[in-house]
Amino acid sequence: MITTNSKCSRHYNQDPMGHKYTREHILGGAVELALAEGVGSLTFGRLAKRMGTSDRVVVYYFPSKTTLVSEVLVEIGNQLQAVLAKAFTEPAAGHLQLAKAAYGVLARDDTDAIFAVYFESCGLAAAGAQPFQDLAAALFEWLVGWLSGFFRGNPKQRRAEAEAAARRINASAVVNAQIHAWGRGKGGGVKIAKDAKGRDVGACSILSKVSFVQ
Protein backbone atom coordinates (compact mmCIF):
# COMPACT_ATOMS: atom_id res chain seq x y z
CA MET A 1 0.00 0.00 0.00
CA ILE A 2 1.08 3.60 -0.48
CA THR A 3 2.91 4.85 2.57
CA THR A 4 2.68 8.27 4.16
CA ASN A 5 5.02 10.34 6.26
CA SER A 6 4.42 9.24 9.85
CA LYS A 7 5.62 12.58 11.22
CA CYS A 8 2.89 14.37 9.28
CA SER A 9 0.34 11.83 10.50
CA ARG A 10 1.10 12.14 14.20
CA HIS A 11 -1.35 14.71 15.50
CA TYR A 12 -3.72 14.88 18.40
CA ASN A 13 -7.30 13.82 17.84
CA GLN A 14 -8.58 16.91 19.65
CA ASP A 15 -9.43 19.70 17.21
CA PRO A 16 -7.14 22.65 18.14
CA MET A 17 -9.84 25.18 17.23
CA GLY A 18 -12.37 23.70 19.60
CA HIS A 19 -14.44 22.01 16.90
CA LYS A 20 -15.80 18.51 17.20
CA TYR A 21 -13.74 17.04 14.36
CA THR A 22 -10.78 14.74 14.84
CA ARG A 23 -8.16 13.84 12.28
CA GLU A 24 -10.15 10.70 11.42
CA HIS A 25 -13.27 12.80 10.80
CA ILE A 26 -11.40 15.12 8.44
CA LEU A 27 -9.86 12.21 6.54
CA GLY A 28 -13.26 10.54 6.26
CA GLY A 29 -14.72 13.75 4.87
CA ALA A 30 -11.88 13.99 2.36
CA VAL A 31 -12.53 10.45 1.15
CA GLU A 32 -16.25 11.19 0.80
CA LEU A 33 -15.45 14.36 -1.17
CA ALA A 34 -13.10 12.46 -3.49
CA LEU A 35 -15.68 9.75 -4.12
CA ALA A 36 -18.48 12.25 -4.72
CA GLU A 37 -16.71 14.97 -6.71
CA GLY A 38 -13.35 13.51 -7.74
CA VAL A 39 -9.93 13.52 -6.14
CA GLY A 40 -8.99 16.58 -8.18
CA SER A 41 -11.57 18.54 -6.16
CA LEU A 42 -9.60 18.08 -2.93
CA THR A 43 -8.55 21.48 -1.65
CA PHE A 44 -8.24 22.68 1.93
CA GLY A 45 -10.98 25.25 1.37
CA ARG A 46 -13.48 22.91 -0.26
CA LEU A 47 -12.92 20.21 2.34
CA ALA A 48 -13.23 22.70 5.21
CA LYS A 49 -16.50 24.01 3.78
CA ARG A 50 -17.85 20.47 3.41
CA MET A 51 -16.88 19.65 7.00
CA GLY A 52 -18.19 22.92 8.42
CA THR A 53 -14.84 23.94 9.86
CA SER A 54 -11.94 26.24 8.97
CA ASP A 55 -9.02 25.80 6.59
CA ARG A 56 -6.65 26.00 9.55
CA VAL A 57 -8.15 22.87 11.10
CA VAL A 58 -7.59 20.87 7.91
CA VAL A 59 -4.03 22.18 7.60
CA TYR A 60 -3.34 21.31 11.24
CA TYR A 61 -4.00 17.65 10.57
CA PHE A 62 -2.74 17.61 6.96
CA PRO A 63 0.08 20.18 6.59
CA SER A 64 0.34 19.77 2.81
CA LYS A 65 -1.88 18.76 -0.09
CA THR A 66 0.49 15.87 -0.78
CA THR A 67 -0.16 14.51 2.71
CA LEU A 68 -3.92 14.88 2.29
CA VAL A 69 -4.07 13.34 -1.19
CA SER A 70 -1.71 10.47 -0.37
CA GLU A 71 -3.72 9.46 2.68
CA VAL A 72 -6.98 9.68 0.77
CA LEU A 73 -5.47 7.41 -1.88
CA VAL A 74 -4.42 4.98 0.85
CA GLU A 75 -8.04 4.77 1.99
CA ILE A 76 -9.33 4.45 -1.58
CA GLY A 77 -6.68 1.82 -2.22
CA ASN A 78 -7.88 -0.18 0.75
CA GLN A 79 -11.42 -0.05 -0.62
CA LEU A 80 -10.18 -1.04 -4.08
CA GLN A 81 -8.29 -3.98 -2.62
CA ALA A 82 -11.31 -5.12 -0.61
CA VAL A 83 -13.51 -5.01 -3.72
CA LEU A 84 -11.08 -6.95 -5.91
CA ALA A 85 -10.23 -9.47 -3.18
CA LYS A 86 -13.78 -10.77 -3.37
CA ALA A 87 -13.08 -11.95 -6.91
CA PHE A 88 -9.67 -13.50 -6.23
CA THR A 89 -10.38 -16.61 -4.20
CA GLU A 90 -7.56 -18.83 -5.49
CA PRO A 91 -4.19 -18.52 -7.30
CA ALA A 92 -4.59 -17.70 -10.99
CA ALA A 93 -3.00 -19.66 -13.83
CA GLY A 94 -2.26 -16.39 -15.65
CA HIS A 95 -3.19 -12.73 -15.97
CA LEU A 96 -6.15 -13.45 -18.26
CA GLN A 97 -7.77 -15.65 -15.63
CA LEU A 98 -7.28 -13.04 -12.93
CA ALA A 99 -8.64 -10.25 -15.12
CA LYS A 100 -11.66 -12.36 -16.00
CA ALA A 101 -12.34 -13.00 -12.31
CA ALA A 102 -12.18 -9.27 -11.64
CA TYR A 103 -14.67 -8.39 -14.34
CA GLY A 104 -17.67 -9.57 -12.31
CA VAL A 105 -16.75 -7.08 -9.59
CA LEU A 106 -16.01 -4.28 -12.03
CA ALA A 107 -19.44 -4.67 -13.63
CA ARG A 108 -21.23 -3.52 -10.46
CA ASP A 109 -22.52 0.04 -10.21
CA ASP A 110 -21.51 0.33 -6.56
CA THR A 111 -17.80 0.08 -7.43
CA ASP A 112 -17.80 2.88 -10.02
CA ALA A 113 -16.86 5.68 -7.63
CA ILE A 114 -13.89 3.77 -6.19
CA PHE A 115 -12.43 2.97 -9.60
CA ALA A 116 -13.20 6.47 -10.88
CA VAL A 117 -10.98 7.99 -8.17
CA TYR A 118 -8.19 5.55 -8.99
CA PHE A 119 -8.30 6.33 -12.71
CA GLU A 120 -8.69 10.04 -12.18
CA SER A 121 -5.49 9.90 -10.12
CA CYS A 122 -3.73 8.10 -12.98
CA GLY A 123 -5.07 10.65 -15.46
CA LEU A 124 -3.92 13.60 -13.37
CA ALA A 125 -0.49 11.97 -13.08
CA ALA A 126 -0.36 11.52 -16.87
CA ALA A 127 -1.26 15.19 -17.27
CA GLY A 128 1.67 16.16 -15.04
CA ALA A 129 -0.47 17.43 -12.16
CA GLN A 130 1.05 17.40 -8.70
CA PRO A 131 1.04 15.73 -6.25
CA PHE A 132 -0.48 12.97 -8.39
CA GLN A 133 2.54 12.61 -10.66
CA ASP A 134 4.82 11.98 -7.68
CA LEU A 135 2.37 9.49 -6.15
CA ALA A 136 1.60 7.57 -9.36
CA ALA A 137 4.60 5.24 -9.18
CA ALA A 138 3.68 4.24 -5.63
CA LEU A 139 0.08 3.65 -6.71
CA PHE A 140 1.14 1.39 -9.56
CA GLU A 141 3.68 -0.49 -7.44
CA TRP A 142 1.07 -1.10 -4.77
CA LEU A 143 -1.39 -2.59 -7.26
CA VAL A 144 1.21 -4.78 -9.00
CA GLY A 145 2.76 -5.88 -5.73
CA TRP A 146 -0.62 -6.90 -4.35
CA LEU A 147 -1.71 -8.69 -7.53
CA SER A 148 1.57 -10.63 -7.73
CA GLY A 149 0.51 -12.56 -4.65
CA PHE A 150 -2.24 -14.25 -6.67
CA PHE A 151 0.15 -15.94 -9.11
CA ARG A 152 2.45 -18.93 -8.90
CA GLY A 153 6.07 -18.96 -10.08
CA ASN A 154 9.25 -17.07 -9.28
CA PRO A 155 9.17 -13.34 -8.39
CA LYS A 156 9.96 -12.24 -11.95
CA GLN A 157 7.16 -14.38 -13.41
CA ARG A 158 4.66 -13.21 -10.79
CA ARG A 159 5.48 -9.57 -11.42
CA ALA A 160 5.14 -9.94 -15.20
CA GLU A 161 1.72 -11.57 -14.79
CA ALA A 162 0.68 -8.95 -12.22
CA GLU A 163 1.62 -6.07 -14.54
CA ALA A 164 -0.34 -7.62 -17.40
CA ALA A 165 -3.33 -8.25 -15.12
CA ALA A 166 -3.23 -4.70 -13.78
CA ARG A 167 -3.40 -3.25 -17.30
CA ARG A 168 -6.33 -5.47 -18.27
CA ILE A 169 -8.19 -4.70 -15.04
CA ASN A 170 -7.52 -0.98 -15.52
CA ALA A 171 -8.77 -1.00 -19.11
CA SER A 172 -11.88 -3.04 -18.25
CA ALA A 173 -12.76 -0.78 -15.34
CA VAL A 174 -12.41 2.42 -17.38
CA VAL A 175 -14.63 1.11 -20.17
CA ASN A 176 -17.14 -0.39 -17.76
CA ALA A 177 -17.47 2.79 -15.70
CA GLN A 178 -18.05 4.78 -18.89
CA ILE A 179 -20.72 2.35 -20.09
CA HIS A 180 -22.48 2.48 -16.72
CA ALA A 181 -22.49 6.27 -16.77
CA TRP A 182 -23.91 6.41 -20.29
CA GLY A 183 -26.56 3.89 -19.29
CA ARG A 184 -27.61 6.18 -16.46
CA GLY A 185 -27.74 9.14 -18.84
CA LYS A 186 -24.81 10.96 -17.23
CA GLY A 187 -22.79 11.16 -20.42
CA GLY A 188 -19.51 10.26 -18.75
CA GLY A 189 -18.06 8.02 -16.10
CA VAL A 190 -14.43 8.39 -15.13
CA LYS A 191 -13.54 11.92 -14.12
CA ILE A 192 -11.70 13.64 -16.95
CA ALA A 193 -8.35 15.07 -15.93
CA LYS A 194 -6.83 18.23 -17.40
CA ASP A 195 -3.36 18.55 -18.84
CA ALA A 196 -0.99 21.42 -18.14
CA LYS A 197 -2.81 23.59 -20.71
CA GLY A 198 -6.25 22.85 -19.33
CA ARG A 199 -7.19 20.40 -22.07
CA ASP A 200 -9.21 17.28 -21.33
CA VAL A 201 -7.26 14.05 -20.92
CA GLY A 202 -9.74 11.36 -21.95
CA ALA A 203 -9.84 7.75 -20.83
CA CYS A 204 -8.05 6.45 -23.95
CA SER A 205 -5.31 9.01 -23.49
CA ILE A 206 -4.97 8.08 -19.84
CA LEU A 207 -4.60 4.43 -20.74
CA SER A 208 -1.94 5.09 -23.35
CA LYS A 209 0.04 7.71 -21.44
CA VAL A 210 0.10 6.12 -17.99
CA SER A 211 0.12 2.50 -19.18
CA PHE A 212 -0.37 2.34 -15.86
CA VAL A 213 2.55 4.31 -14.64
CA GLN A 214 5.67 2.24 -14.39
Please give the residue that has the higher pLDDT: either 207 or 144.
144
Ordered by where they begin, the domains of the chain are 1-72 (1.10.10.60), 86-214 (no CATH)
Closest of 147, 143, 111 to residue 213, by C-alpha:
143
User: Which pLDDT belongs to residue 9?
Assistant: 38
CA angle, corner 84, sides to 82 and 88, nearest 5?
110
User: Which pLDDT belongs to residue 104?
Assistant: 75
User: Which pLDDT belongs to residue 65?
Assistant: 92
User: Which pLDDT belongs to residue 120?
Assistant: 84
User: Which pLDDT belongs to residue 167?
Assistant: 85
Mean pLDDT over 111-139 rounds to 83
User: Which pLDDT belongs to residue 89?
Assistant: 83
User: Which pLDDT belongs to residue 101?
Assistant: 85
Helices (H), 43-183: 44-51, 55-61, 65-85, 95-106, 112-126, 132-147, 155-183
Mean pLDDT over 196-213 rounds to 39
Q: What distance in Å separates the CA atoms of residue 152 and residue 161, rounded to the nearest whole number?
A: 9
Supply the DSSP symbol for 92.
B
pLDDT in tens, 1-20: 444 443 333 333 444 445 56
pTM: 0.70
* Total Cβ atoms within 10 A of residue 89: 8
User: Which pLDDT belongs to residue 202?
Assistant: 41
pLDDT in tens, 159-188: 999 999 988 877 766 665 555 455 444 444
Phi, psi of 88, rounded to the nearest 5 degrees: -105, 85
Q: Residue 200 pLDDT > 70, yes or no?
A: no
